[in-house]
Structure 1
């Protein structure tokens, strides 16, 4: 009897399934794991000492030492604004023009009054001179002479008052032109043409960007550890990857009433094209010492314990270390114990490493070391 083709195929599939299920799973052996690790010199860090600085943290802003807020000294309508934010200005240059009509009329009136007072004073002086001559000839009485003297003195006083009013009117006219007090840059423009400027109204703020300093605050309990001349290292928001240096120029003798922090003024060692008002933070160096310093990327954290991968006899040895202070300049960590100068460790341990694994050091950078170098260059370490 001939077998049915579909039944034959079904029997074959069932036989193959049973055969597959009957085969035991092959366990992974240690020979399948990595038995050695290939490294290059860039992966290795030789332990050496470097400077560890300690001191209080400081935070604040960059502010110009030379700064002027220009206010209206006379009232009037703003007719022209000649400079805008960011424009360079020269000392004496006109920045804002107020309407001069009223003050020009006042000056003309004061000048006319001065001329009239001058004529009256001259006539009174001549009259007094004649009366003095006639009095010596006994042609006029002493009372007439005294009247002439009083008239001459009065006209002299009127002339002095007229001159003062002229000077005042001229000064008011000049104050309608608001000028730059020094070479600098317009930081804030506060008016536009057509605005009404009352006396005392703020018109512009001018700064000298080459006079920047770091105005920061420190905790009150740290003020006893700093002094004028102490070195300061800080970074500025907007300038990533860069650190700047300065030294304490002055210490405010009075703490802030709200925060009770102490203000510190830091003179920059070199000026840069800073923008005023940017936030800055750093630390004041009051103590330096030589110590073994490591980047946090070289450390392995396991709970409260920290380890490094030490190269010993061409093998990796997981070694526990004790860490101490952190250098706020570079973010490096002090190693108190567990390592000695001259030993070598993995610079950037990555992946699942095995204690006791063999190590070979080649000359070409591995993919891991290239990635680590790129990360290091981006972080600015």
Structure 2
């Protein structure tokens, strides 16, 4: 507007000079216009430009936060599928799906009549073998005494020693079989391995199952984790213990906090994304495995950043700079731009500015170094 007014003023002066004194000729008119232009230019230099409060910004500490959006399913961190070690008939089932159990609780009892009979037989065989070994050792002791007196031959001594070795081996074998029978009898009671909730029951009372058959699935619902998939482009920004905020389906907007617990070393075969596991606490929030979760991971935060609007950054042959207000004049202030903040319209400045500085935030061409400016007082 100021340039337009100056141009109109010069044009008017030129016409006035030509109209009033045409006898002086074109050369005199041009000289007069030159004088007027110099006077107007001098007046424009002396007169400061007025900036509004919306065109400047004071540098203050700014909190910058960058989050990565994620989504995935909730999974239990502790889950076990219980199988029958030996086949047999189920005589009692003490747990159903959805029931909470404690570590050591009896979940299933198998019929034990045959197992007890086998155990008694193995223990009897072991006892017989122990008695036989005792006799062979006593015989060996007598033969060794006779051999010292040259009454027993070397052949008799070797035979006695061989019988002791065979009896010892037989006793060890039968003792092992008795231990196996005792373990099978003990396994006739299936116990809960940890505190948790039964999520699946695959058997019924009275049914007969084979060795290795699935019985129960038990999960620990106290601590769950969210398995989210992160692209290979963004996974380098993820680190252990980073804080996450998730929203779970069915919790009516409630925010569940968690932290990055594990990062898979390999990509998912189907999606080529990297699985990341966020550990959640289930205290009082009624989380369930299998629920869908959406939210974000806090990948970076700076509570004392020096931030400027991206539009206020200028460039010239010497590099990046901003216009800083100093004693009523604009000065060129070189700056170093820090790392970006995920597509934000603000820039973090790592060097060149300090708290309390005032900069110009609008890219007007008439605003340049060494220009005098004024700022109206608030109100």
Measured after TM superposition, the shift of residue 335 of structure 1 is 10
Q: Find the counterpart in structure 1 of residue 178 from structure 2.
A: 166
Measured after TM superposition, the shift of residue 268 of structure 1 is 2.4
Whether 2:220 is the aligned partner of 1:221: answer: no
Measured after TM superposition, the shift of residue 61 of structure 1 is 1.5
> What SS does the corresponding residue of 1:114 show, helix, strand or coil?
helix
Output the CA distance in 1 between the equivalents of 2:258 and 2:215: 33
Any conservation in 2 of the 1:218–1:263 contact (CA below 8 Å)? yes
Q: Which of 206, 218, 225 is the aligned partner of 1:194? A: 206
* Cα-to-partner distance string for 1:172-223 (whole Å, 9 max, x where unaligned): 1111211111122212111111233222222111122112122222233221
Measured after TM superposition, the shift of residue 51 of structure 1 is 7.3
1:265 to 1:138, Cα distance in 2 relative to 1, 3 A: same
Output the CA distance in 1 between the equivalents of 2:234 and 2:176: 57
> What SS does the corresponding residue of 2:233 show, helix, strand or coil?
helix
* TM-score between both structures, scaled by the size of structure 2: 0.60
Q: Which of 90, 103, 106 is the aligned partner of 1:78? A: 90
Any conservation in 2 of the 1:214–1:265 contact (CA below 8 Å)? yes
Measured after TM superposition, the shift of residue 55 of structure 1 is 2.8
Q: Find the counterpart in structure 2 of residue 279 from structure 1.
A: 292
* TM-score between both structures, scaled by the size of structure 1: 0.60
Any conservation in 1 of the 2:223–2:281 contact (CA below 8 Å)? no
Any conservation in 1 of the 2:222–2:282 contact (CA below 8 Å)? no
Output the CA distance in 1 between the equivalents of 2:63 and 2:217: 43
Larger Rg: 2
Q: Which runs of 5+ in 1 are unaligned?
A: 1-49, 291-333, 337-381
Output the CA distance in 1 between the equivalents of 2:202 and 2:260: 34
1:72 to 1:270, Cα distance in 2 relative to 1, 3 A: closer
Q: Find the counterpart in structure 2 of residue 104 from structure 1.
A: 116
Output the CA distance in 2 between the equivalents of 1:52 and 1:97: 60
Q: Which runs of 5+ in 2 are unaligned?
A: 1-61, 304-343, 347-379
Instruction: Report how many aligned residue pairs link the two structures.
Output: 246
1:157 to 1:269, Cα distance in 2 relative to 1, 3 A: closer
Could you list the structure 1 runs, at least 4 aligned residues long, displaced by more than 6 angstroms after superposition.
Answer: none
Q: Counterparts in 2 of 1:43-62, with a 5 A limit?
A: 53-62=65-74
Q: Which of 259, 263, 268 is the aligned partner of 2:275? A: 263
Output the CA distance in 2 between the equivalents of 1:270 and 1:196: 38
